[in-house]
Chain A
Amino acid sequence: MDAVWCKALSEQVNADERLVWRGRHVSTSFLLEVGQSEYVIKIDQGRVSSVKKGPFAMGDWVFALRASEASWTAFLELLPRPGFHDVMGMLKLKHLQMEGDLYPFMSHLLYFKDVLASVRGREVNA
C-alpha cells in the first residue's frame, strides 16, 4: 500500500496534465486512512506535492477518508466489484467514512474521484 499512496499517486496525478488543470483551484491536504496506516496527502493547485505516512502526533489535514485495507484493496482492483468501484458507493455501503471540512472534496468531487482512481490497477503489495 505504501508504494501506491506514497509513490504511484503523485506520479500518476502529476503526469496527467488535464487532471492537474481540473484541480488548479485545489490546494488542501487530506488524510487517507488505510486500516492501521495513515497518509496525509497534500495538494497544491491540483498537483500532489507531498505524501507523508503516519502515525502523526499532530495530524494536519482538512478532511479524512477512512476505510479498511481490504476496502481500499478492493477499490484498487482494475475492475472493482460492485460497491467498491467508487468512493461515494463505498460511503453508501458503509465501507468508508468521511469527516472534517468536506468543502474542498465536495466542490471538486470529480477531480478527487479521478485522483484516487488514478492508481487503480497498481499492485498493492509492491
Chain B
Amino acid sequence: MTTRVWIEPIVGRYMHLTLNGHSHRVYVEEAGTGVPLLCLHTAGADTRQYRALMNDTELLKQFRIIAFDLPWHGKSSPPEGWQQNTYRLSSHDYTEAILSVVDAMQLEQPIVMGCSIGGRIVLHLALEHPERFGAAIGLQSGAHVEPYYDLEWLHRSDVHGGEVSAGIVSGLIGPLSPAKHKWETLWHYMQGGPGVFKGDLFFYTADGDIRDRVKQIDTKKCPLWLLTGEYDYSCTPEDTAFLGHNIEGAKWQIMKGMGHFPMSEDPDKFLTYLKPVLQEAARARSA
C-alpha cells in the first residue's frame, strides 16, 4: 500500500513586532505570488481558517495570500507578563497589529479581507486608513453586535473554555457545511487560550461599534465588498444589509446556506462567491 504524500505551498514564519509598547512574536504564513491579499481570522481562532484559500492553485497564481495569528491566538503567544492581565481586544490595538504586519512585510496596498471581528475591522480600516489598502472585503460584516448571552461563560475555570467556545459557535456554522469542515472549524475554537475568545468579543460587542461612522466610508478611496452567510445569527444578513444601504458604493451579497465561517466551514462553496469578488477587487486596486 502506498500513501500519497504531498506538501502544501503554505510557508509560515515568526515575526517580532512591538505592539502597544510590548514585544510580540507573531506567526505569519503565506502562499502564492502577485496581488497581496491579507486575511484576518475570526474571534478566538487563527490563520488555519484560510487553509483552503492558501491551497487553491488558481488563486495562488494571481494572489500572494498572507494571514497572521493575532497576538494571543494560534501560534502567536501572548506578551511576557500575560498572566497578570486580562486580554481585551480594542479597536486601536487591532488596527495597530494589522498595520504593523503590513509595514513589516512591506505590502503595497494589499486587499484586506477579514471575517467576523475581521469583517468589522476592515470597516475601521476602510474609514481610517483607506490609503493603505487597495480594497477591503468584509466577511460576516456588521457595524455592531449586541451580546445575546452572558460572555462570562467563555472564561471561567469550572467550564472547559475550548468546549464552551466551540459550543457557542457551532450553530453559527451553516447546517449544510460538510462535517469534516465543520468539526475542523470547531477544533480551532477548542484550541483557543483561556479568555481569548471572550477578549476578542470586547471588540465585537463594545469597543468596535462603528454604526455612527459607517456612512463616512469612502469607497472611492477604498472599494468595499461584503459577503455574509444567510445562517449567521451573530452577524446577520440584516446587519450586512444595513452596511450595504449606508455605505455608498459598497457591494454586498448574501451567501445561501452558509454561516459565520465561510472560508473554513464550506470552502468550495465559498470560493464560488469569493473568486468573482477578488477579481473585481484586484481590478479596482490597480485602477
Contacts and interface: CB of A to CB of B under 8 A. Distances in A.
Secondary structure class of chain B's binding surface, majority of residues = loop
B6 interface: no
B171 A88 contact: yes
Q: Contact residue range for chain A?
A: 20 to 34
19 contacts: A82-B230, A82-B231, A82-B233, A85-B171, A86-B170, A86-B233, A87-B171, A88-B149, A88-B171, A88-B233, A89-B172, A92-B234, A93-B233, A103-B159, A106-B159, A106-B167, A107-B160, A109-B168, A109-B170
Given A82-B237, A88-B171, A106-B164, 12 more contacts: A82-B231, A85-B175, A88-B148, A89-B171, A89-B172, A103-B158, A106-B153, A107-B158, A107-B159, A107-B160, A109-B168, A110-B170
Interface string A83-116: 1011111011100000000110011111001000
A79 interface: yes
Interface string B221-244: 000000000110110010000000
Contacts of B164: 106-107, 109
B233 A89 contact: yes
A35 interface: no
Interface of A: 79-80, 82-83, 85-89, 91-93, 102-103, 106-110, 113
Interface bin, chain B = 20 to 34
Interface in B137-181: 148-149, 153, 158-160, 163-164, 166-168, 170-172, 175-176
* Among B171, B234, B237, residue most surrounded by chain A Cβ atoms (within 10 Å): B171
